Amino acid sequence: MTALADHDSIRAVQWRGDVLRLLDQRRLPAEESWLECRTAAHVRDAIADLVVRGAPAIGIAAAWGVVLAAQTGEALTPVLEHLRAARPTAVNLMWALDRMRARIEAGADAEALQREAQVIQDEDLAANHRMGALGAALIDAGSGVLTHCNTGSLATAGYGTALGVIRAGVAEGRIERVFAGETRPWLQGARLTMWELVHDGIPAKLIADSAAAHLMRSGQVQWVVIGADRIAANGDVANKIGSYQLAIAARHHGVKFMVVAPSTTVDMATPSGEAIEIEMRDPNELLSIAGVRTVIDGASAWNPVFDVTPASLIDAIVTERGVIERPDAERMRAMFDPS
């Protein structure tokens, strides 16, 4: 398979000097519509409501939210706290805001903060291309891969993390079969990853989340390749709900398990996955699809939207700094905290 389109043409987060344009991911693939944020509060709401989502993308959007506040002379400390509280699991949000806070405390004005936000965005794009090459190199020619949720241009500054590895692996002729899990309940895989893959001309098959173990047993996939929202100091990984059971099934079937994330997703201050806060979202996201209720009135639901995969079930963590095979606390420290 050869990719036909320009991978970098999808830009979900667009800075326009005094307004942040966000591709409204709640409406894809049916509608490509844009939300214009002119205040930090608009950006905070867009992150909380999943207009923009994906760990790196929400950090980048929050950084631009700080710029909007600085341009209008808002008090920045409450703005930082308001943006930080938008979603709890993806550490990229906190990392980006800490980086902006450091610049504010160093006396940066709106112009300097705008330059910082642009650097954060540009660094993420560069990291994605480097991770694409590093991750693809782990995949033998003729392989099939399964991915989960959306980790592409919609979730990052462009190109993607796990989906970047898939783009690179297809372009290099290493990956012959691509499967994407629908990713209930928000359907990031069905609605977003398939949209990106069709946009790029990369043939892929959507599967029901419940078909994943059967697919692995069929021998059509050699790798599961996913993103991350927070990687703890011992290599445990918080990612979209359903990742953990993919890792269990993959280990059972001898399928390798790769996590792809920029170093801005690594949180060496969090010792293990047990300490990662898992976002709980509105149960109604489970009780209806596309606004159509699918469950009898009076029913309730439990809707954690992330889970934790222990490092012991992960074969490789790929970041722009390099690959950690069979991650553990010592190997994480060697790469991220060598002091």
**Which positions make up the binding site for substrate?**
53-55, 87, 188, 239-240
Q: Please work out the total of residues on this chain that contact ligand LNRAV4D5, with binding judged by CB under 6 A.
A: 16
Nearer to ligand LNRAV4D5, 80 or 127 (CB): 127
Taking contact as CB under 6 A, which single stretch among the options 54-62, 204-212, 249-257, 290-298 is the one that binds ligand LNRAV4D5?
Answer: 54-62
Residue 55 touches ligand LNRAV4D5, criterion: CB under 6 A: yes
- Tell me which of 200, 229, 267, 307 is the catalytic residue: 229
Main-chain phi, psi angles of 288, to 5 degrees: -150, 160
Dihedral of CA atoms 63, 66, 70, 74 in degrees, nearest 10, equals 180
* Binding string, residues 145-174; x marks residues near ligand LNRAV4D5 by CB under 6 A: ----x-x---xx----x-------------
Q: Are 287 and 295 in contact (CB under 8 A)?
A: yes
Residue 7 touches ligand LNRAV4D5, criterion: CB under 6 A: no
Nearer to ligand LNRAV4D5, 54 or 310 (CB): 54
Instruction: Describe the strand order of the beta sheet including 13-15 as a list of residue ranges.
Output: 13-15, 20-23, 34-37
Q: Are 297 and 201 in contact (CB under 8 A)?
A: no
Write down the least CB distance from residue 1 to ligand LNRAV4D5, Å.
22
Distance CA 13, CA 20 (A): 7
Distance CA 50, CA 69 (A): 21
Write down the least CB distance from residue 294 to ligand LNRAV4D5, Å.
21
Strands 223-226, 256-260: pairing kind: parallel
Q: Are 56 and 231 in contact (CB under 8 A)?
A: no
Write down the least CB distance from residue 76 to ligand LNRAV4D5, Å.
25
Which residues fall in the annotated binding site? Answer: 53-55, 87, 188, 239-240
Instruction: Describe the strand order of the beta sheet including 316-319 as a list of residue ranges.
Output: 205-207, 175-181, 143-147, 223-226, 256-260, 316-319, 322-325
Distance CA 242, CA 227 (A): 12
Residue 264 touches ligand LNRAV4D5, criterion: CB under 6 A: no
Q: State yes or no: is 24 an active-site residue.
A: no
Distance CA 64, CA 22 (A): 11
Q: How far is CA 135 from CA 25, 80, 152, 184, 308, in A?
A: 26, 34, 14, 26, 21
Taking contact as CB under 6 A, which single stretch among the options 95-103, 223-231, 308-316, 329-337 is the one that binds ligand LNRAV4D5?
Answer: 223-231
Distance CA 59, CA 61 (A): 5
Residue 193 touches ligand LNRAV4D5, criterion: CB under 6 A: no
Nearer to ligand LNRAV4D5, 112 or 323 (CB): 323
Among 46, 56, 121, 175, binds ligand LNRAV4D5 (CB under 6 A): 56
Return the structure tokens found at 12: 């979900």
* Contact footprint for ligand LNRAV4D5 (CB under 6 A): 53-56, 149, 151, 155-156, 161, 188, 226-227, 229, 239-240, 305
User: Which active-site residues does the annotation give?
Assistant: 229
